């Protein structure tokens, strides 16, 4: 009852402070006297019955004098609760910790973006209950394509000048069935009949096709290029997306019957992180740390993608000289370690030495699988060095081959640095836990 009385005193003080200039003198005096009586009984530890009677008398006055402060309807109380909760959440997101979802695989294998899990045949696809569990645990969303007619699966690959899967477009869609969003719609063909599939805008559909139709090939471009050289292609004119266009069609060699599954995969959600927004207000971001920033003041990024959040690894602070040299750093492990092969990757250098500060640097420079080294591109092409200007940073992805980073669009303004990743909170995989 004493705890109950303390709550009533808090409410009485609130009514007094909010409404004392609007209340008649008699009502104000009664409110003060009833409040004082409850406070006295509470202080003197009066018995329960006496304390309860004084509370009831105070409550009668509050009903007459409370106005909009008291009594409140449950609707008003709920609105107030959710409004305060929203303000608190926005404050935490803005100044302390912000959730962030990684859409692409530019930081793979340190962080995962959206990745496909491909099913070779319909019998391998998860059932309804399993699919629901996979959605909750992994954020998995299914995509299926069935053949409209009998024939060979064919992939549009360009018009003789461009490369890549060219027959695609951006369309309007819905996220969670209600939230407007942009999707990318791709078109494949069986014979001359089109099949369409829609995926998130940042999803790498080329990798899905490569893994499904050409496993073992380095990239879809290389796989389709080999088929072109072997003569397994033909030009056709299509008009399903506006004006007629002549495209090169690649013959995959896979024959299907009408209604047969052509492609089946689940899109697993990218890693979702909590980002520390506080630390970098007081210390300079260290080389090697995960590095979240906004793109609004990076011209090449903002023009194409608008103001978004990106995550890369910080490799250069003001005054640093960065370059990539061909080759790889000899591993300190045994000669028969698990280093990756190939000659595409190079060694990332900072101020004339192999860069240090993160395990990802060492593994890329030594090409410890699955890290493939740093590719010489853009401002860090062969023979090029980049000196980081004052007030800016240079950031690269751990997955250098598939990362759109500072090599292409330049430096990150210091004012746009958001913070560092703290924790992977979803999906529930082995990566769950403190961020690397």
- pLDDT computed for residue 48 by the predictor: 92
- Span 198-203, mean pLDDT? 90
Radius of gyration for the alpha carbons in the chain, expressed in angstroms and rounded:
31
**DSSP code at position 341:** -
**Can you read off the two tokens belonging to residue 413?**
């303004």
Percent above pLDDT 90 for the chain = 67
265 has a pLDDT exceeding 50: yes
**Other C-beta atoms within 10 Å of 207: how many?**
15
The confidence score (pLDDT) of residue 332 equals 57
The pLDDT of residue 179 = 84
Specify the DSSP element, H or E, that contains 418. Answer: strand 417-426
Q: How many CB atoms sit inside 10 A of residue 171's CB?
A: 12
| Cβ atoms < 10 Å from Cβ of 397 | 25
Q: Which residues contact 179 (CB under 8 A, 6 or more apart)?
A: none
- When pLDDT is cut at 50, 70 and 90, the band that residue 63 belongs to is very high
Residue-level pLDDT at 331: 61
Predicted confidence (pLDDT) per residue in 266-314, tens digit: 999 999 999 999 999 899 999 999 999 999 999 988 887 788 899 999 9
In the chain, % of residues over pLDDT 70:
94
- Under CATH, which number does the domain 272-434 receive? 2.10.109.10
Give the HSE-up count for residue 275: Cα atoms under 13 Å, Cβ half-sphere: 26
Token pair, residue 90, equals 């926005």
**Closest by Cα among 399, 400, 376 to 324:** 376
**Per residue in 130-156, pLDDT tens?**
999 999 999 999 999 999 999 999 998
Beta strands in 309-351 (DSSP E): 309-316, 321-326, 346-350
pLDDT digits (tens, 9 = 90+) for 73-127: 788 888 989 999 999 999 998 899 999 999 899 999 999 999 999 998 888 999 9
- The full set of domain ranges for the chain reads 2-65, 115-268, 272-434
Tell me the mean pLDDT in the region 6-20: 94
């Amino acid at each position: 009852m004493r705890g109950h009385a303390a709550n009533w005193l808090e409410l009485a003080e609130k009514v007094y402070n909010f409404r004392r200039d609007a209340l008649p003198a008699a009502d104000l005096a009664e409110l003060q006297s009833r409040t004082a009586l409850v406070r006295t009984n509470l202080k003197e530890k009066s018995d329960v019955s006496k304390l309860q009677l004084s509370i009831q008398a105070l409550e009668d006055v509050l009903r007459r004098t409370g106005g909009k402060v008291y009594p409140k309807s449950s609707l008003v109380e709920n609105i107030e609760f959710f409004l305060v909760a929203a303000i608190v959440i926005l404050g935490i997101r803005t100044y302390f910790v912000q959730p962030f979802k990684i859409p692409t695989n530019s930081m793979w294998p340190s962080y995962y973006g959206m990745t496909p899990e491909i099913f070779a045949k319909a019998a391998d696809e998860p059932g309804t209950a399993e699919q629901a569990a996979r959605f909750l645990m992994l954020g998995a969303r299914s995509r299926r394509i069935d053949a409209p007619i009998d024939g060979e699966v064919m992939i549009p690959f360009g018009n003789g000048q461009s490369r890549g899967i060219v027959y695609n477009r951006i369309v309007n869609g819905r996220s969670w069935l209600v939230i407007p969003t942009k999707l990318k719609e791709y078109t494949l063909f069986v014979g001359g009949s089109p099949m369409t599939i829609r995926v998130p805008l940042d999803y790498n559909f080329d990798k899905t096709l490569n893994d499904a139709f050409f496993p073992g090939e380095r990239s879809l471009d290389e796989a389709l290029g080999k088929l072109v050289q072997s003569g397994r292609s033909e030009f056709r004119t299509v008009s399903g997306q506006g004006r007629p266009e002549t495209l090169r069609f690649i013959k995959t060699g896979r024959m299907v019957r009408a209604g047969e599954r052509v492609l089946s995969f689940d899109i697993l959600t990218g890693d979702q992180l909590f980002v520390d927004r506080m630390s970098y207000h007081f210390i300079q971001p260290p080389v090697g740390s995960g590095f979240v920033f906004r793109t609004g003041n990076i011209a090449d990024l903002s023009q194409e993608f608008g103001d978004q959040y990106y995550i890369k690894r910080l490799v250069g602070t003001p005054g640093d000289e960065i370059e990539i040299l061909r080759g790889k750093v000899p591993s300190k492990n045994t000669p028969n370690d698990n280093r990756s092969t190939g000659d595409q990757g190079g060694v990332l250098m900072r101020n004339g030495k192999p860069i240090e500060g993160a395990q990802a640097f060492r593994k890329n420079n030594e090409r410890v699988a699955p890290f493939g080294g740093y590719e010489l591109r853009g401002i860090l092409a062969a023979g090029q060095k980049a000196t980081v200007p004052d007030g800016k940073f240079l950031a690269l992805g751990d997955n250098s081959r598939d990362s759109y980073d500072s090599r292409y669009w330049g430096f990150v303004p210091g004012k746009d640095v958001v913070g560092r990743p703290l924790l992977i909170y979803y999906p529930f995989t082995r990566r769950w836990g403190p961020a690397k």
